[in-house]
Amino acid sequence: MKKAIIIGATSGIGRELAKVLSADGYIVGITGRRLHLLEQLKDELSNQASIKRMDISQKSAVDDLQKLINEMQGIDLAVISAGTGSIDLELPWKKEKETIKTNVLGFAAVANVAFHHFQQKGSGHLVGISSIAGIRGGGGAPAYSASKAFVSNYLQGLRYIIEKGKHNIVVTDIQPGFVDTAMAQGEGVFWSASPQKAAAQICKAIKKKKKHAYITKRWRLIAWALKVMPNGFYNKL
């Protein structure tokens, strides 16, 4: 039976993905900062599950994740869904710093743990949730956009290492557009997907071992437009 850890499973995409993977036969490990929400989720899952309170912005996250992997006696899949972000045109450093600490330092720390586990195991699948926002700098949330660009580039770097070392490891970059979660409030509802729909499409991408997937699929059109749009036009949006 396959085993997966979803890092950041207390709400949104991570929570729904835990449900989808559990229903698909996975034994899952779920992590997050709010223990009571993890316990509630565990009761809702179809299959066996382990929980671990963990905050990826803290140094203890590395040891916490390793402990969970050991408790589960190894894993086949790790999904990093934990992240934070806010829109504030005044750019208060406290919020910007929190975004960088979580989405950059925290992401890299737990991705490193998972990647080394898969190297030692000889196989595995690492999935990171980045964002369409990572394609271009965002005026209302520059740290968020930059942090998601970091996620995508970090995953690409791991994929480069895999190709050079001939490892049997898959690395998938998931780039969602708007998903109806608490973090997306105030960002508009343009092409917004439910967490359930997003999780279903992510699960399909995992099964197909894709290197990259837009969620939902229609966001590839926006991604293409953002990549080719002249700066002068983009800055007037």
* pLDDT tens digits along 185-213: 544 556 678 899 999 999 999 999 999 99
Long-range contacts from 91-97, C-beta under 8 angstroms, 24+ separation: 91/142, 95/143, 96/142, 96/143, 97/143
Segment 68-110, tens digit of pLDDT: 999 999 999 999 999 998 888 888 899 999 999 999 999 999 9
Fold adopted by 3-234: Rossmann fold (3.40.50)
pLDDT at 38 over 60: yes
Q: What's the rounded mean pLDDT across residues 130-145?
A: 89
Segment 144-171, tens digit of pLDDT: 999 999 999 999 999 999 988 778 999 9
Residues designated as active site: 144
Question: What's the predicted TM-score (pTM) here?
Answer: 0.92
CA dihedral 77, 159, 149, 52 (to 10 degrees): 20
Q: Residue 30 is which amino acid?
A: I
Domain boundaries, the chain: 3-234
pLDDT recorded at residue 141: 86
In this prediction, what percent of the chain has a pLDDT beyond 90? 73
